Amino acid sequence: MAAIDVEKVKNDFPIFDIKVGGKPLVYLDSAATSQKPRKVINAISKYYKRYNANIHRGVYKIAEQATEEYIKSKKKVAKLVNADSGENLVYTRNTTESINMVSYTWAEQNVGSGDHILVTDMEHHSNIVPWQMLAKRKGAILDYISLNNEHSELDEESIETQLAKNPKLLAITHCSNVLGTIVDVKSITRKAHQTGAKVLVDGAQSVPHMPVDIADIGCDFLAFSGHKMLGPTGIGVLYAKHDILEESQPFLGGGDMIKTVERQDFTPNDVPWKFEAGTPNIEGGIALGVAVDYLRKIGMGSIREHEKMLTRYALEKLSGIDKVNLFGLPVERIESRGGVVPFAINGIHPHDVATIFDSEGIAIRAGHHCAMPLVVEILKEPALSRISFYLYNNERDVDAAVAAINKAKSIFKIQ
Amino acid sequence: MDLYAEEIVSHYEHPHNKGKPRDANTNYHEYNPLCGDDITIYLKIEGGIVKSASFDGTGCAISVGSASMLTDLLKGKKVGDVEKMGPKDIIGMLGIDPGPTRLKCATLSLKATQKAIFVYEKKDASSVSKDL
Ligand SMILES: Cc1ncc(COP(=O)(O)O)c(C=O)c1O
């Protein structure tokens, strides 16, 4: 596995040419959204400049080209996550829409009154609220797998107890966007399948950052977002097993999702087009394919190793600073930790921390990270600051963060 | 950075007018989901004048610092003048524009103050300026 040449990678990303208040941009918020390489940006304008046409319907050259590029992109994504074919991938707007699509199709048909739906205490709002809405529609019960005493990973006993309730669905994150904890989704999927549950994996923080193999995990659904993996906003992916896609009712109705329409009825289109009603985000789909090319060229294994190295470095540096609290698994458990480093400085509000970072040209996130049950109810913090990494970060970025923490401490006179 | 000038930080560390007073005749609680800032403003209004002002709660330095400075500023002001205050006055009070996101933290206490006045006057609290 080749080490990543960060300087070379940075040159591929035009945003690193900018200055923030006279300082070079240090971007440590890739868990929120990633930056985009020039190739991806160019793919979008190339579509508009050279072959802008609607897909699936034109018989002319540029329409055929657009259709072909769009379908090619799905093949690339399928290869990235080892889905058997692009036909099992539905393009959506983002992870959130992918999860909602499952809740309004398969789950709408298969979850009924008194049924259990199982999530975990580490979920993003997008893997909580759709299930709360479903539970309300159906009179179903929403259960949570709780965290261990250290609030760093799922509690093994709770996994067993909750699965014993025979949930219809387990909806679980692969990697927590707050703690960075990587869940062993393969083993938990196997356990859930034994109880008859279907399994939805939220791959928003895993697919962009590490090798993800759907066939190996064995999950029924996988949701992720293009914008967190070098692609543009407005394009997301839902993988589902072929028979589930075949058996599920469509979500939105309209053009492209049908084969034929009569005055009183319609015949749905083949999978996956049955789930893509109306003109899709064509340039987004195409550009996502280009993003995947870029990622595969670097190698997902290399990206994971690079982020592990940075996370270890950051945990070691930050744990040496007085009054800094770290959350999540300890550095010895780096194998189960993604490139996410949440922290709090005693006596300084995380938003003040983020604003002081900004004054140094460093972008970090502060807030509840769309995971209020975890941050507010469990960790009992009003908010957290979070550093997150990607392939364009290096140790110098961590050093800059450390300097900014020290600056914050000195402004607030904290020793 | 100027936003964290000595004055704001010192108000944050040693806030003025902090606590729940016994003689207040109106109050209002505001929450800013962005930062999790949680501020309640207490006012004693007499003859159209703010006689005393205090606040309670927790939050970032910008929200707590401005609540401390604002409650200093409110004392002796005409209620009608307080109702007319807006983001510009808060920026003037702080001496710096905290930027669009953090301005919400800075104006939280003014929003609570105006709503407390509206409650006192039995006006609709939702008619507080949308700019805040
Ligand atoms: C774990 C996780 N799930 C879901 C999402 C939602 O992604 P999107 O906003 O792209 O739908 C995010 C984004 O922050 C995330 O980190």
CA angle A275, A281, A283 (to 5 degrees): 140
Distance from CA of A138 to the nearest CA of B (A): 30
A370 is catalytic: yes
- pLDDT at residue A151 greater than cutoff 90: yes
**CATH code 3.40.640.10 region(s) in chain A:** 42-296
Mean pLDDT over residues A95-120, rounded? 98
Comparing alpha-carbon positions, the chain A residue that sits nearest to B31 is A382
Query: How far is it, in rounded angstroms, from Cα A296 to Cα B93?
Result: 53
How long is chain A?
Answer: 415
C-beta separation of A273 from A55 below 8 A: no
pLDDT profile of chain B (132 residues), mean per 10 = 83 94 93 86 96 94 96 96 95 91 93 95 72 72
Mean of per-residue pLDDT scores for chain A: 96
With left for phi above 0 and alpha for psi between -120 and 50, is residue A76 left, alpha or beta?
A: alpha
Residue B93, token pair as written in the block: 């009070």
Determine the atom of ligand 1 nearest the C-alpha atom of A228. Answer: 10
Residue A383, token pair as written in the block: 């908010």
Strands B37-46 and A365-367: unpaired
pLDDT tens digit sequence for A4-63: 999 999 999 999 999 998 999 999 999 999 999 999 999 999 999 999 999 988 889 999
Distance from CA of B18 to the nearest CA of A (A): 17
Give the start-to-end residue ranges of the domains of chain B: 2-126
pLDDT tens digit sequence for A367-379: 888 998 999 899 9
Task: For chain A, give the percent of residues with pLDDT over 70.
Answer: 100
Query: How far is it, in rounded angstroms, from Cα A273 to Cα A87?
Result: 9
CB contact under 8 A, B3 and A368: no
Check if A26 has its Cβ closer than 6 Å to any atom of ligand 1. Answer: no
The helix (run of H) or strand (run of E) holding residue B94 is helix B87-94
Torsion of CA A21, B4, A414, A374, to 10 degrees: -80
SS3 A92: strand
C-beta separation of A360 from A26 below 8 A: yes
Mean pLDDT over residues A232-259, rounded? 96
Q: For chains A and B, count residue pairs whose Cβ atoms are closer than 8 Å.
A: 52
DSSP 8-state symbol, A182? B
Instruction: Find the catalytic residue in A102, A310, A370, A375.
Output: A370
Give the pLDDT band of residue A86 (cuts 50, 70, 90): confident
C-beta separation of A282 from A47 below 8 A: yes
- pLDDT at residue A208 greater than cutoff 70: yes
- pLDDT at residue A281 greater than cutoff 60: yes
Check residue B32 and give its pLDDT: 86
Task: For chain A, give the percent of residues with pLDDT over 90.
Answer: 94
> What CATH number was assigned to the domain covering residues A6-30+300-411?
3.90.1150.10
Query: How far is it, in rounded angstroms, from Cα A129 to Cα A127?
Result: 6
CB contact under 8 A, B4 and A352: yes
C-beta separation of B93 from B34 below 8 A: no
Check residue B36 and give its pLDDT: 80
Q: For an interface test with B, give the residue of A352, A353, A364 to mutate (most B CBs within 10 A).
A: A352
Enumerate the β-bridge partners of residue A326.
A343
CATH topology for B2-126? Sufe protein. Chain: A (3.90.1010)
C-beta separation of A92 from A236 below 8 A: yes
Check residue B8 and give its pLDDT: 92
Give the N- to C-terminal CA distance of chain B in Å, as an integer. 24
Q: Which of A24, A34, A33, A18 is nearest to A361 (CA)?
A: A24
Give the pLDDT band of residue A354 (cuts 50, 70, 90): very high
Q: For an interface test with A, give the residue of B35, B58, B66, B104 to mutate (most A CBs within 10 A).
A: B35
C-beta separation of A219 from A189 below 8 A: yes
Stronger pLDDT, A382 or A78, i.e. the higher one: A78
CATH topology for A42-296? Aspartate Aminotransferase; domain 2 (3.40.640)
CB atoms within 10 A of CB A377: 10
Enumerate the β-bridge partners of residue A223.
A202, A238
Strands A340-345 and A384-388: antiparallel
Question: Ligand 1: distance of its center to the CA of A307 in Å?
Answer: 19
- pLDDT at residue A101 greater than cutoff 70: yes
Give the pLDDT band of residue A205 (cuts 50, 70, 90): very high
Question: Ligand 1: distance of its center to the CA of A224 in Å?
Answer: 8
Mean pLDDT over residues A218-234, rounded? 98
Partner residue facing A351 (CB), from B12, B38, B105: B105
Hey, which bits of B68-108 come out as E strands? none
Distances (CA, A) of A183 to A151, A175, A237: 13, 6, 20
Check residue B127 and give its pLDDT: 64
Mean pLDDT over residues A373-395, rounded? 93
**CATH code 3.90.1150.10 region(s) in chain A:** 6-30+300-411
pLDDT tens digit sequence for A292-343: 999 999 999 999 999 999 999 999 999 999 999 999 999 999 999 999 999 9
CA A141 to chain centre: 26
